[in-house]
Amino acid sequence: MTMQDEPLLAVDSLSVSFDGFKAVDDLSFQINRGEIRVIIGPNGAGKTTVLDLICGRTKATSGSIRFEGRELTRMKEYDIVRAGVGRKFQTPSVYEDLTVFENLEISYPRGRGVFEALLFRRDRELTDCIRDIAEMIYLDQKIDEKAANLSHGQKQWLEIGMLLIQDPALLMLDEPVAGMTVNERVRTAELLQRIIQSRSVLVIEHDMGFVEKIAHQVTVLHQGRIISDGSMEHVKNDPKVVEVYLGH
Protein backbone atom coordinates (compact mmCIF):
# COMPACT_ATOMS: atom_id res chain seq x y z
CA MET A 1 0.00 0.00 0.00
CA THR A 2 1.42 3.38 -0.94
CA MET A 3 1.11 6.49 1.21
CA GLN A 4 -1.48 7.88 -1.24
CA ASP A 5 -3.81 4.93 -0.62
CA GLU A 6 -3.67 5.23 3.16
CA PRO A 7 -6.21 7.41 4.91
CA LEU A 8 -4.89 10.90 5.57
CA LEU A 9 -6.04 10.68 9.17
CA ALA A 10 -6.72 7.55 11.18
CA VAL A 11 -8.15 7.94 14.68
CA ASP A 12 -8.08 4.68 16.61
CA SER A 13 -9.62 3.89 20.02
CA LEU A 14 -9.16 7.48 21.14
CA SER A 15 -10.27 8.41 24.65
CA VAL A 16 -9.84 11.32 27.01
CA SER A 17 -11.03 11.66 30.59
CA PHE A 18 -11.34 14.85 32.61
CA ASP A 19 -11.35 13.94 36.31
CA GLY A 20 -12.79 10.53 35.55
CA PHE A 21 -15.40 11.89 33.12
CA LYS A 22 -14.96 10.35 29.66
CA ALA A 23 -15.53 13.25 27.25
CA VAL A 24 -14.34 11.12 24.31
CA ASP A 25 -14.72 7.38 24.65
CA ASP A 26 -13.08 4.81 22.36
CA LEU A 27 -13.43 6.82 19.18
CA SER A 28 -12.30 5.45 15.79
CA PHE A 29 -12.74 6.97 12.35
CA GLN A 30 -10.72 7.79 9.26
CA ILE A 31 -10.54 10.62 6.76
CA ASN A 32 -9.41 9.89 3.22
CA ARG A 33 -7.72 12.34 0.89
CA GLY A 34 -10.18 14.65 -0.81
CA GLU A 35 -12.91 13.80 1.68
CA ILE A 36 -15.16 15.91 3.91
CA ARG A 37 -16.15 14.28 7.18
CA VAL A 38 -18.66 16.04 9.40
CA ILE A 39 -19.06 15.40 13.12
CA ILE A 40 -22.54 16.05 14.45
CA GLY A 41 -24.14 15.46 17.83
CA PRO A 42 -25.99 17.21 20.64
CA ASN A 43 -24.36 19.80 22.92
CA GLY A 44 -21.66 18.31 25.12
CA ALA A 45 -21.26 15.23 22.88
CA GLY A 46 -17.49 15.75 22.68
CA LYS A 47 -17.19 17.23 19.19
CA THR A 48 -14.92 20.16 20.08
CA THR A 49 -12.83 17.87 22.27
CA VAL A 50 -12.15 15.65 19.23
CA LEU A 51 -10.70 18.63 17.36
CA ASP A 52 -8.74 19.62 20.50
CA LEU A 53 -7.24 16.12 20.59
CA ILE A 54 -6.27 16.10 16.91
CA CYS A 55 -4.60 19.51 17.06
CA GLY A 56 -2.76 18.64 20.27
CA ARG A 57 -4.48 21.19 22.50
CA THR A 58 -5.79 18.34 24.65
CA LYS A 59 -3.71 15.23 25.35
CA ALA A 60 -5.38 11.85 24.85
CA THR A 61 -5.70 9.47 27.78
CA SER A 62 -5.36 6.54 25.36
CA GLY A 63 -5.59 5.68 21.68
CA SER A 64 -3.85 6.89 18.58
CA ILE A 65 -4.13 9.58 15.89
CA ARG A 66 -2.11 8.80 12.74
CA PHE A 67 -1.66 11.57 10.21
CA GLU A 68 0.44 11.00 7.09
CA GLY A 69 2.34 8.27 8.86
CA ARG A 70 3.00 10.29 12.03
CA GLU A 71 1.57 9.80 15.51
CA LEU A 72 -0.01 13.11 16.53
CA THR A 73 -0.74 12.14 20.15
CA ARG A 74 2.98 12.40 20.85
CA MET A 75 3.47 15.76 19.14
CA LYS A 76 3.24 19.36 20.36
CA GLU A 77 0.46 21.64 19.09
CA TYR A 78 2.91 23.77 17.10
CA ASP A 79 4.50 20.74 15.41
CA ILE A 80 1.06 19.40 14.47
CA VAL A 81 0.33 22.68 12.67
CA ARG A 82 3.64 22.38 10.86
CA ALA A 83 2.86 18.76 9.96
CA GLY A 84 -0.16 20.05 8.04
CA VAL A 85 -3.19 20.24 10.32
CA GLY A 86 -4.96 23.62 10.28
CA ARG A 87 -7.79 24.52 12.62
CA LYS A 88 -10.34 27.28 12.58
CA PHE A 89 -12.21 28.09 15.76
CA GLN A 90 -15.87 29.04 16.00
CA THR A 91 -15.43 32.79 16.36
CA PRO A 92 -13.41 34.52 13.65
CA SER A 93 -10.07 35.78 14.93
CA VAL A 94 -8.89 37.98 12.10
CA TYR A 95 -6.86 41.13 12.68
CA GLU A 96 -9.51 43.84 12.38
CA ASP A 97 -7.07 46.70 11.75
CA LEU A 98 -5.26 44.93 8.94
CA THR A 99 -6.46 44.57 5.35
CA VAL A 100 -7.48 41.27 3.79
CA PHE A 101 -4.09 41.16 2.05
CA GLU A 102 -2.18 41.82 5.28
CA ASN A 103 -4.18 39.24 7.23
CA LEU A 104 -3.24 36.62 4.64
CA GLU A 105 0.36 37.82 4.47
CA ILE A 106 1.04 37.55 8.19
CA SER A 107 -0.45 34.04 8.23
CA TYR A 108 2.13 32.81 5.75
CA PRO A 109 4.55 30.50 7.54
CA ARG A 110 8.00 32.08 7.25
CA GLY A 111 10.75 29.64 6.49
CA ARG A 112 14.23 29.94 7.84
CA GLY A 113 16.06 28.45 4.90
CA VAL A 114 18.12 29.68 2.03
CA PHE A 115 15.02 30.98 0.26
CA GLU A 116 14.84 33.84 2.72
CA ALA A 117 17.78 35.29 0.82
CA LEU A 118 15.83 35.31 -2.41
CA LEU A 119 13.50 37.93 -1.08
CA PHE A 120 12.39 39.51 -4.33
CA ARG A 121 11.29 36.27 -5.94
CA ARG A 122 9.72 35.16 -2.73
CA ASP A 123 7.70 38.33 -2.40
CA ARG A 124 6.29 37.99 -5.88
CA GLU A 125 5.39 34.39 -5.33
CA LEU A 126 3.79 35.26 -2.03
CA THR A 127 1.80 38.12 -3.56
CA ASP A 128 0.51 35.81 -6.29
CA CYS A 129 -0.38 33.19 -3.72
CA ILE A 130 -2.25 35.76 -1.58
CA ARG A 131 -4.20 36.98 -4.61
CA ASP A 132 -5.16 33.42 -5.58
CA ILE A 133 -6.39 32.69 -2.09
CA ALA A 134 -8.27 36.01 -1.87
CA GLU A 135 -10.07 35.07 -5.08
CA MET A 136 -10.84 31.60 -3.80
CA ILE A 137 -12.45 32.99 -0.62
CA TYR A 138 -14.49 35.57 -2.59
CA LEU A 139 -12.50 38.53 -1.26
CA ASP A 140 -10.46 39.58 -4.30
CA GLN A 141 -12.55 42.76 -4.60
CA LYS A 142 -11.94 43.46 -0.89
CA ILE A 143 -8.22 42.75 -0.80
CA ASP A 144 -7.28 46.25 0.41
CA GLU A 145 -10.26 46.58 2.73
CA LYS A 146 -9.70 46.45 6.49
CA ALA A 147 -11.02 43.24 8.01
CA ALA A 148 -13.12 45.36 10.38
CA ASN A 149 -15.26 46.39 7.39
CA LEU A 150 -16.07 42.82 6.33
CA SER A 151 -19.33 41.04 7.11
CA HIS A 152 -19.27 38.24 9.66
CA GLY A 153 -19.37 35.67 6.85
CA GLN A 154 -16.53 37.35 4.98
CA LYS A 155 -14.43 37.28 8.17
CA GLN A 156 -15.09 33.53 8.40
CA TRP A 157 -13.88 33.14 4.81
CA LEU A 158 -10.81 35.25 5.53
CA GLU A 159 -9.94 32.98 8.41
CA ILE A 160 -10.25 29.95 6.13
CA GLY A 161 -7.90 31.79 3.74
CA MET A 162 -5.46 32.36 6.61
CA LEU A 163 -5.41 28.59 7.10
CA LEU A 164 -5.10 27.84 3.38
CA ILE A 165 -1.98 29.97 3.08
CA GLN A 166 -0.32 27.58 5.51
CA ASP A 167 -1.05 24.81 3.00
CA PRO A 168 -2.52 22.24 5.40
CA ALA A 169 -3.39 18.74 4.17
CA LEU A 170 -6.24 18.66 6.71
CA LEU A 171 -8.47 21.60 7.61
CA MET A 172 -10.60 21.40 10.72
CA LEU A 173 -13.51 23.83 10.90
CA ASP A 174 -15.74 24.37 13.95
CA GLU A 175 -19.20 25.49 12.81
CA PRO A 176 -17.98 27.36 9.73
CA VAL A 177 -21.42 28.63 8.64
CA ALA A 178 -22.70 29.78 12.04
CA GLY A 179 -24.09 33.30 11.64
CA MET A 180 -23.84 33.23 7.84
CA THR A 181 -26.59 34.29 5.42
CA VAL A 182 -28.20 31.70 3.16
CA ASN A 183 -26.16 32.95 0.21
CA GLU A 184 -22.91 32.83 2.22
CA ARG A 185 -23.68 29.23 3.22
CA VAL A 186 -24.09 28.23 -0.42
CA ARG A 187 -20.78 29.89 -1.30
CA THR A 188 -19.05 28.24 1.67
CA ALA A 189 -20.22 24.82 0.43
CA GLU A 190 -18.74 25.69 -2.98
CA LEU A 191 -15.52 26.86 -1.35
CA LEU A 192 -15.17 23.54 0.48
CA GLN A 193 -15.63 21.66 -2.79
CA ARG A 194 -12.67 23.55 -4.23
CA ILE A 195 -10.58 23.09 -1.08
CA ILE A 196 -10.92 19.30 -1.18
CA GLN A 197 -9.47 19.10 -4.66
CA SER A 198 -6.13 19.03 -2.88
CA ARG A 199 -6.96 18.62 0.83
CA SER A 200 -9.29 16.94 3.32
CA VAL A 201 -11.71 18.64 5.68
CA LEU A 202 -13.13 17.79 9.10
CA VAL A 203 -16.12 19.89 10.10
CA ILE A 204 -18.26 20.23 13.22
CA GLU A 205 -21.67 21.48 12.20
CA HIS A 206 -25.20 21.85 13.54
CA ASP A 207 -26.86 23.06 10.35
CA MET A 208 -28.21 19.80 8.90
CA GLY A 209 -29.03 21.35 5.53
CA PHE A 210 -25.37 22.34 5.20
CA VAL A 211 -24.17 18.93 6.41
CA GLU A 212 -26.33 17.24 3.82
CA LYS A 213 -24.82 19.43 1.12
CA ILE A 214 -21.14 18.90 1.96
CA ALA A 215 -20.58 15.65 3.88
CA HIS A 216 -19.09 12.54 2.33
CA GLN A 217 -19.06 10.86 5.72
CA VAL A 218 -20.95 11.78 8.90
CA THR A 219 -19.95 10.76 12.41
CA VAL A 220 -22.65 11.09 15.06
CA LEU A 221 -21.31 11.57 18.58
CA HIS A 222 -23.34 11.19 21.75
CA GLN A 223 -21.85 11.31 25.24
CA GLY A 224 -18.36 10.88 23.82
CA ARG A 225 -19.16 7.78 21.77
CA ILE A 226 -19.94 7.19 18.11
CA ILE A 227 -23.54 6.09 17.81
CA SER A 228 -23.65 6.13 14.01
CA ASP A 229 -21.25 6.60 11.14
CA GLY A 230 -21.59 6.64 7.36
CA SER A 231 -23.30 8.64 4.63
CA MET A 232 -25.81 11.34 5.61
CA GLU A 233 -28.51 9.11 4.15
CA HIS A 234 -27.43 6.27 6.44
CA VAL A 235 -27.17 8.25 9.70
CA LYS A 236 -30.38 10.18 9.02
CA ASN A 237 -32.33 6.94 8.93
CA ASP A 238 -30.50 5.30 11.83
CA PRO A 239 -32.99 4.75 14.69
CA LYS A 240 -30.26 5.47 17.29
CA VAL A 241 -29.69 8.91 15.76
CA VAL A 242 -33.38 9.67 15.54
CA GLU A 243 -33.72 8.73 19.21
CA VAL A 244 -30.91 11.03 20.35
CA TYR A 245 -32.15 13.97 18.31
CA LEU A 246 -35.81 13.57 19.17
CA GLY A 247 -35.03 12.76 22.80
CA HIS A 248 -37.16 9.64 23.20
Ligand X SMILES: Nc1ncnc2c1ncn2[C@@H]1O[C@H](COP(=O)(O)OP(=O)(O)OP(=O)(O)O)[C@@H](O)[C@H]1O
Q: Which residues of this protein are in contact with ligand X, per CB under 6 A? A: 18, 23, 41, 43-49
DSSP string, 76-94: -HHHHHHHTEEEE-SS---
Buried b (16+ CB within 10 A) or exposed e, 189-219: bebbeebbeebbbbbbbebeebbebbbbbbb
Q: Is 41 or 161 the residue whose CB approaches ligand X more closely? A: 41
Least separation in angstroms between residue 134's CB and ligand X is: 30
Least separation in angstroms between residue 42's CB and ligand X is: 7
Least separation in angstroms between residue 205's CB and ligand X is: 10
Do 139 and 197 form a contact (C-beta atoms < 8 A)? no
Q: Is 33 or 47 the residue whose CB approaches ligand X more closely? A: 47
Helices (H), the chain: 47-54, 77-83, 100-107, 119-136, 152-164, 182-195, 208-214, 232-236, 239-246
Q: Is 185 or 222 the residue whose CB approaches ligand X more closely? A: 222
Q: Is 48 or 200 the residue whose CB approaches ligand X more closely? A: 48
How open is the CA angle 148-150-152, to the nearest 5 degrees? Answer: 100
Least separation in angstroms between residue 18's CB and ligand X is: 3
Q: Is 89 or 115 the residue whose CB approaches ligand X more closely? A: 89
Least separation in angstroms between residue 25's CB and ligand X is: 11
